[in-house]
């Protein structure tokens, strides 16, 4: 088979055959197809799209490019959640131990943040000693013993996706529903979970701010789940406003622990419970996630997971040496608080990275002292900026310019869950 024939077929709008897909994925993963030819095929897919059965085969070939996790030693049902990412989206840190406390194991493979959206692994690494790079055996051992484990995907899990993802990032081929969907679910299906619940974010702080595009992505991923025999449900959730009250790694860990102690912000707790309910319901469990959150069971699982992965749940988390408040210029109600503006500000303070290899400052970030609908008085602090380098404050303040406003009346409440696709 020849790479040029495969490229031409997709360029001209044909459905790639199963044999073409399998051959391409195997040859590219093994290094027999150069990046420039793979780039040409990716661009052809961006322009021509893929048929549902074609995409299902493409995804299967990505899974088959590496190993699959063997969860046969886990004796309880498994369910996982994936979020497309947002500002202050710290749900995973609460959700995994919560469903574990309800008798369902969560084998969660997560990623790092890039740009204005945070990454679960970066948050966890704010905990002294916490290891996110586990071997397959270590991962399964923690999952079996604790009921949840959160770590990075190993190099042998869907390696075709690892290569293609890096290539898409530098060839202008990121914005493609088939390529996004297959990238997300190939790793999740390879981890071996019984159920996958997708949190597809919509709004200014989301990867896909347009509702129609986000819905198409959700429908595509649910379709892929059905094609691969994995019960898959997607929720479209609001990301116009930061989730919770913090954006920044150590700040978000602290907020999650507070939530597991019964002191979490309403929106964070509500979304976590909604996703937990979907995960538990999909495996046939009638456990009460709210009860597990309120009685300390989730916190107990969290502490066990942190210890099992080398961390100290009682250790002090990094704190920024410099802080700056942003005060209300007038009295009224906080009318808007743009998630992207807050996310970019946190990024500029040091909480995020522009490239995957960039270092981050775990203590940096933004605390939202008020959320839309809250009454504020002139001179009252609305936002608190945290950084180790005070020179970062000016760029963060510039990112926030026009990103929030005060009005005479409180805004209409926004629904947290916009739609459900199953």
Phi-psi region at 373: left, alpha or beta (left = phi > 0; alpha = psi -120 to 50): left
Phi-psi region at 115: left, alpha or beta (left = phi > 0; alpha = psi -120 to 50): left
Pairing of strands 106-110, 148-152: parallel
Q: Which of 161, 199, 238, 267 is catalytic?
A: 161
CB 205 within 8 A of CB 214: no
Give the CA count within 13 Å in the CB-facing half-sphere of 23: 12
Gyration radius from the chain CA atoms: 22
Q: Note if 187 is an active site residue.
A: yes
Q: Note if 8 is an active site residue.
A: no
Q: Which of 90, 112, 123, 187 is catalytic?
A: 187
Q: Note if 420 is an active site residue.
A: no
The token duo for 366 is: 């933004």
Phi-psi region at 244: left, alpha or beta (left = phi > 0; alpha = psi -120 to 50): left
Q: What share of the chain is helix, strand, coil (3-state, %, to 5)?
A: 45, 15, 40
The token duo for 30 is: 């093994």
Q: Which of 168, 188, 245, 348 is catalytic?
A: 168
Q: Which of 82, 188, 348, 362 is catalytic?
A: 82
Q: Note if 82 is an active site residue.
A: yes
The token duo for 276 is: 């937990």
Pairing of strands 231-238, 79-83: unpaired
Give, as one character, the DSSP assignment of residue 114: B
Q: Note if 65 is an active site residue.
A: no
Catalytic residues: 82, 161, 168, 183, 187
């Amino acid at each position: 088979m020849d790479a040029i024939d495969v490229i031409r077929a997709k360029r001209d709008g044909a459905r790639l055959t199963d044999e073409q897909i399998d051959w391409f994925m195997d040859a590219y993963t093994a290094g027999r197809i150069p990046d420039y030819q793979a780039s040409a095929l990716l661009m052809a897919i961006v322009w021509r799209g893929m048929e549902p059965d074609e995409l299902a085969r493409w995804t299967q070939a990505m899974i088959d490019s590496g190993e699959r996790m063997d969860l046969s030693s886990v004796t309880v049902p498994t369910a996982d959640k994936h979020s497309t990412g947002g500002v202050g989206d710290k749900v995973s840190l609460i959700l995994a131990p919560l469903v574990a406390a309800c008798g369902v194991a969560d084998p969660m493979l997560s990623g790092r943040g890039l740009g204005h959206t945070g990454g679960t692994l970066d948050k966890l690494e704010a905990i002294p000693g916490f290891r996110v790079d586990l071997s397959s055996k270590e991962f399964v051992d923690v999952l079996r013993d604790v009921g949840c484990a959160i770590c990075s995907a190993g190099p042998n899990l869907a390696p075709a996706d690892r290569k293609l993802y890096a290539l898409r990032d530098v060839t202008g081929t990121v914005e493609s529903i088939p390529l996004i969907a297959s990238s997300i679910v190939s790793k999740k299906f390879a981890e071996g979970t019984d159920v996958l619940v997708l949190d597809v974010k919509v709004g200014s702080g989301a990867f896909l701010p347009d509702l129609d595009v986000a819905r198409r992505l959700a429908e595509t991923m649910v379709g892929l789940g059905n094609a691969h025999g994995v019960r898959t449900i997607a929720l479209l959730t609001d990301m116009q406003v930061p989730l919770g009250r913090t954006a920044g790694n150590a700040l978000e860990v602290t907020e999650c622990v507070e939530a597991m102690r019964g002191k979490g912000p309403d929106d964070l707790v509500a979304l976590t419970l909604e996703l937990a309910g979907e995960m538990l319901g999909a495996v046939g469990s009638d456990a009460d996630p709210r009860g597990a959150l309120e009685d300390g069971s989730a916190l107990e699982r969290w502490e066990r997971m942190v210890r099992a992965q080398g961390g100290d749940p009682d250790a002090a988390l990094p704190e920024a040496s410099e802080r700056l408040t942003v005060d209300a210029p007038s009295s009224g109600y906080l009318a808007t608080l743009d998630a992207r503006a807050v996310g970019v500000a946190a990024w500029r303070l040091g909480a995020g990275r522009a490239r995957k290899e960039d270092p981050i400052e775990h203590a940096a970030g933004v605390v939202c002292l008020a959320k839309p609908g809250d009454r504020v008085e002139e001179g009252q602090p609305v936002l608190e900026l945290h950084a180790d380098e005070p020179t970062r404050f000016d760029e963060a303040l510039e990112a926030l310019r026009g990103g929030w406003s005060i009005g005479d009346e409180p805004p209409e409440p926004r629904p947290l869950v916009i739609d459900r696709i199953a």
